[in-house]
Amino acid sequence: MVLQETEETPAILYIDLHLIHEVTTPQAFQSLRDQGFSVRDPNKVLATMDHSTPTLPVKSLRDLDIVAEKGPADQIRDMIRNCEEFGIELHGFDSDKRGIVHVIGPELGATQPGKTIVCGDSHTSTHGAFGALAFGIGTTEVGHVLASQCLLQRKPRTLAVNMNGALKSGVSAKDIILRIIQKLGVDGGVGHVIEYRGSTASILSLEERMTICNMSIEAGARAGMFAPDDKTFNYLIDKPMSPKGLAWDQAVEKWSTLVSDDNCEFDKEIDIDVDHLSPMITYGTNPGMAIQIDDIVPESNSDLGYKKSLNYMQIEAGRPLLGKEIDVVFIGSCTNSRISDLEDAAEILQGQKVANGIRALIVPGSQAVKKEAESLGLDKIFESAGAEWRESGCSMCLGMNGDTVGNGQLAVSTSNRNFEGRQGKGARTILASPKTAAASAIAGSVEDPRKYS
Ligand code: SF4
């Protein structure tokens, strides 16, 4: 439901699904408490613990104080208490459905085409892979949605990203989105919702589409989406929260109409040549500062603070990044922690060893992904290679749970942000695909995954 916007007032948008976690909710629940409000519809809230949740095993809340620092442990206890008080089901330590909020939504079938989905996390755009309108909101808005199930919004502009061609061996969806952000710049999508289209769109799996939509926000876009198609329906058909029986048939009929008109016009368009795409890596402190892995770092670009960024990264302009020594490899986050991401990494790590002195941390996106990976023996491949295999969570994506990159250390990471200090104080981050991260773990330096393809 949408109440139309006017010049004076934004539209009132009904929210079909509200995803919550322990970090952006404490103030929102407190504000409900202060004003005597209840949660409008607890059935439309999906709650998990991910951001500051330890990735070492926690069997009981008593373990929490052993594996977590006081701040994160308090956030987790608050989340448990808030969900109990407001009647929201929480996927906590005892739930096999726990995981990163943007991994479990699709996995449970809560994410569906045409839904309006919000969460107090920027990478909510992930859910657009299913043809949902999904975007991040702030803490105050989290309170508004909990209390009213509605949000005030203005209509965004439209941006078409036309992707054509097929991915070559060693190249993946992460490389596509890094190329898109490089081309658009970190503010090229501001005020827009992106539709990812073109011949590549229909070839990509739902997990690949999620990786691309996930980072739409890094180009400044409000959200990103793919038109729902048979792949979308096949992904959702057996999920616990998907409609069943006649309701499924009716849903698919409705979802099939959620495509742009053939002759529609977009406010802005860009083209991406996927046929000629190489693996991409970042060299600076925003995701737009990216190059093909065998290019040299540019002497300059239009970013203000370009030199400062390279100084922070201790990376020289005019030189290649290939072969640059690293300290840490992180494979995880809501961008790249699904089963296909782990399979990509395992394919390269199989029978290999992580280089001496390199810490390689592999964190599944959910407990369900963990279970599936273990049933496929991927955990054994990772551990034999010398990598650490953990419980699910956001982990080194933002380093709130104790999993951090050390001060001054250089990490190749499959996460989505290479901002200064994002992975820990003084941490330096190179964003890359799981294939590139795995190849780099073996080499101990930035490595081209095509060497292992
Ligand atoms: S993995 Fe990173 S981006 Fe994704 S939900 Fe967690 S903190 Fe946010």
Could you tell me if the CB of 338 is within 6 A of ligand 1?
Answer: no
| Domains observed in the chain | 2-153 (3.30.499.10), 157-273 (3.40.1060.10), 282-452 (3.30.499.10)
With CA atoms as reference, report the closest residue to 378 among 363, 356, 394.
363
**Mapped to the 3 state alphabet, what secondary structure does 58-98 carry?**
CCCHHHHHHHCCHHHHHHHHHHHHHHHHHCCCEECCCCCCC
pLDDT of the residue at 110: 98
For residue 333 and ligand 1, the question of a CB distance below 6 A is answered with yes
Per-residue pLDDT at 1 = 56
218 lines ligand 1 (CB under 6 A): no
> How far does the centroid of ligand 1 lie from the alpha carbon of residue 438, in Å?
20
DSSP secondary structure letters along 333-363? TTTS-SHHHHHHHHHHHTT--PPTT-EEEE-
For residue 362, what pLDDT is reported? 98
Give me the pLDDT at residue 60, please. 80
- What does the pLDDT read at residue 63? 84
Q: Which pLDDT score is estimated for 183?
A: 97
Cα of 400 from ligand 1 centre, angstroms: 10
Whether 102 is in the pocket of ligand 1, judged by its Cβ within 6 Å, is yes
**How many angstroms separate the alpha carbon of residue 337 from the centre of ligand 1?**
11
- Full-model pTM: 0.97
Count of CB atoms within 10 A of residue 4's CB? 9
In this structure, which residue's CA is closest to atom 6 in ligand 1? Answer: 394
Per-residue pLDDT of the chain (453 residues; tens, 9 = 90+): 567 888 889 999 999 999 999 999 999 999 999 999 999 999 999 999 999 999 999 888 888 888 888 889 999 999 999 999 999 999 999 999 999 999 999 999 999 999 999 999 999 999 999 999 999 999 999 999 999 999 999 999 999 999 999 999 999 999 999 999 999 999 999 999 999 999 999 999 999 999 999 999 999 999 999 999 999 999 999 999 999 999 999 999 999 999 999 999 999 999 999 999 999 999 999 999 999 999 999 998 776 789 999 999 999 999 999 999 999 999 999 999 999 999 999 999 999 999 999 999 999 999 999 999 999 999 999 999 999 999 999 999 999 999 999 999 999 999 999 999 999 999 999 999 999 999 999 999 999 999 998
Q: Which residues contact 158 (CB under 8 A, 6 or more apart)?
A: 192, 193, 195, 266, 267, 268
Q: Which ligand 1 atom sits closest to the C-alpha of 397?
A: 2
DSSP 229-275: -HHHHHHHTT-TTS--THHHHHHHHHHTT-S--TT---SEEEEEEST
β-bridge pairing 328-331 and 290-292: unpaired
Q: Provide CB contacts within 8 A for 413, sequence distance 6+.
A: 328, 329, 330, 333, 396, 397, 405, 423, 429, 430, 431, 432, 437
Nearest CA to ligand 1 atom 4: 334
pLDDT on residue 2: 61
The finding on whether 403 has its CB within 6 A of some atom of ligand 1 is no
Identify the H or E element spanning 108: helix 101-108
Q: Which helix (H) or strand (E) holds 209?
A: helix 206-214
* CA distance to 331, 336, 390, per residue, from 378 (Å): 13, 15, 12
Mind listing the pLDDT tens digit for each residue in 244-261? 999 999 999 999 999 999
